[in-house]
Amino acid sequence: MKRNIFILFFAAIIIFAASCNNSDDMQNDNQNNDSTKLTVYQYPDRIATSIIYEVNIRQYTPEGTFAAFEAHLPRLKDMGIDILWIMPVQPVGVKNRKGDLGSYYSIQNYIDVNPEFGTKDDFRSMIEKAHELDMLVILDWVANHSSWDNVWIDEHPDWYTQDSAGNIVAPVEDWSDVADLNYNNQEMRNEMVNSMKFWIENFDIDGFRCDVAMMVPTDFWDSARVELDKVKPVFMLSEAEEPDLMETAFDLNYTWDFLHLTEDIAKGNKRAVDLIDYFLNDPAKFPVDKAIRMNFTSNHDENSWNGSVYERYPNCYKTFAALTFVVPGMPLIYSGQEACLDKKLAFFTKDTIDWNDCDMTLFYKQLSDLKINNSALWNGIFGSNLEFVSTENNEQILTFFRQNHDNKILCLFNLADSPTDVKYTEITAEGTYTDYFTGETVEINLNDTYHLKPWEFRILIF
């Protein structure tokens, strides 16, 4: 409780200061812009330190139910999670289904729950328990397409994209189990928004993670956000990197570029200097007063199609997990990563996570505590910029500090599978620090040499 009060107080100061400094500008903006223009984050006390967790209900437990997952909520809260992203919970289409259970993203009925997961009351109970633990719950939303046996398809074929012969088509050739929705049809748009409202009004959902958001017109998301906020202020995650989506509709978006770049570094195809270029150029693409990027090393797509972190980040999965927590952005943890999930989870059939005790559970808790308790690492406008520090050695070193008032964090990463020596050449790095993981005192001085093992990283607190 004390932590939340402090965060809320700190966030309020920032927002109040910004509003005072820009009151004239804001007044002019309000006069010139329409009602779709959003203000700063709807959940400032949460957004500052939020860590998001993707929940795969089907694979989470042997039962694969809401009730079985609910038992894990206290553990996740203790690990530092405060936003739960729940993969789609609606019934899965049968027509043209892939595998024996089908894709979560082939929605048969937008306003019902998959009976394999439990009942509506079970789902409501899960959300209520999460709210009791002060966690937000966002629901995965599939607006681009539906199943071929969706309740809409026979009654409203004009709600779907058709070819010249009048045949409904898939959005992508390989997505043969889903039918493409037609966003030129206003009735369909209205019903899609009403379906989203259903989950807020009946289950108190806190927002949505929007699947392939870039494949749906931005103006739909903009208008949908306004309508949803009339019911309840929502938190919105976009599975896309298009900057225009962040202007009005979304609070958080994907960093596919960051993920693929780190995977290339793990393979030896890219270097730390490429990551520096990424962080120097990426912020300019997004609204600086609003956008938060979501950093991750895994999610359901990466895990199921490209492999576990142990396959994609051999010998360095901890290095890049740590990086997602200390660079600007909100970190994501996927179901089972804290249990050393070392396999691809099947996507179209049952494939339960093996819940082993492993050092990743403690590691993620340590990373969560680090982010929560150091304001320099907070998300968006509540944290600080990333400032790189020059060194004398080769291109495999990534070192930077983040500083917010009296809180300063110096990070040092060896992003290669070979050892290296580091010698700082900038006075900004000098100081007496505490190593976060070991508690040791570390003196950083110009021209002193520091040795790092392959993939070793140090997080130092000033």
Q: Tell me the pLDDT tens digit for each residue of 141-157.
A: 999 999 999 999 999 99
HSE toward the beta carbon, residue 145, CA cutoff 13 A: 26
pLDDT at residue number 43? 57
Banded pLDDT at 288 (limits 50, 70, 90) = low
Rounded Cα distance between 26 and 375, Å, is: 27
User: DSSP code of 92?
Assistant: B
Assess whether pLDDT exceeds 60 at residue 11.
no
pLDDT at residue number 158? 98
Lowest mean pLDDT among 49-63, 227-241, 278-292: 278-292
Assess whether pLDDT exceeds 90 at residue 82.
yes
Assess whether pLDDT exceeds 60 at residue 333.
yes
Q: Tell me the pLDDT tens digit for each residue of 417-455.
A: 999 999 998 888 899 999 999 999 999 998 889 999 999
Rounded Cα distance between 430 and 115, Å, is: 59
pLDDT at residue number 287? 74
Lowest mean pLDDT among 177-186, 190-199, 249-258, 285-294: 285-294
Assess whether pLDDT exceeds 90 at residue 21.
no
**Cβ neighbours of 223 (radius 10 Å):** 17
The helix (H) or strand (E) run that includes residue 260 is helix 256-267
Q: Mean pLDDT throughout 253-278?
A: 96
Which among 404, 349, 362 is positioned nearest to 380, based on CA atoms?
Answer: 404
Rounded Cα distance between 265 and 275, Å, is: 9
Banded pLDDT at 289 (limits 50, 70, 90) = low
Query: Would you call 443 helix, strand, or coil by DSSP?
Result: strand
Assess whether pLDDT exceeds 70 at residue 2.
no
Lowest mean pLDDT among 68-82, 244-258, 386-400: 386-400
Lowest mean pLDDT among 35-39, 172-176, 397-401: 35-39
Higher-confidence residue of 387 and 447: namely: 387
Q: Tell me the pLDDT tens digit for each residue of 119-128.
A: 999 999 999 9
- Computed over every residue of the chain, the mean pLDDT equals 90
Which among 240, 199, 233, 200 is positioned nearest to 216, based on CA atoms?
Answer: 240
Which among 268, 275, 208, 212 is positioned nearest to 242, based on CA atoms?
Answer: 212
DSSP bridge partners of 179: 146
Higher-confidence residue of 20 and 46: namely: 46
Q: What are phi and psi of 291, to 5 degrees?
A: -65, 135
Residue with tokens 């493409």: 180
Assess whether pLDDT exceeds 70 at residue 27.
no
Rounded Cα distance between 411 and 389, Å, is: 10
Q: What are phi and psi of 117, to 5 degrees?
A: -90, -15
pLDDT at residue number 47? 85
Assess whether pLDDT exceeds 60 at residue 8.
no
Query: Would you call 375 helix, strand, or coil by DSSP?
Result: helix
Assess whether pLDDT exceeds 70 at residue 347.
yes
Q: How do beta strands 235-238 and 207-210 pair?
A: parallel
- Judge contact between 346 and 304, C-beta under 8 A: yes
pLDDT at residue number 36? 33
pLDDT at residue number 348? 98
pTM: 0.91
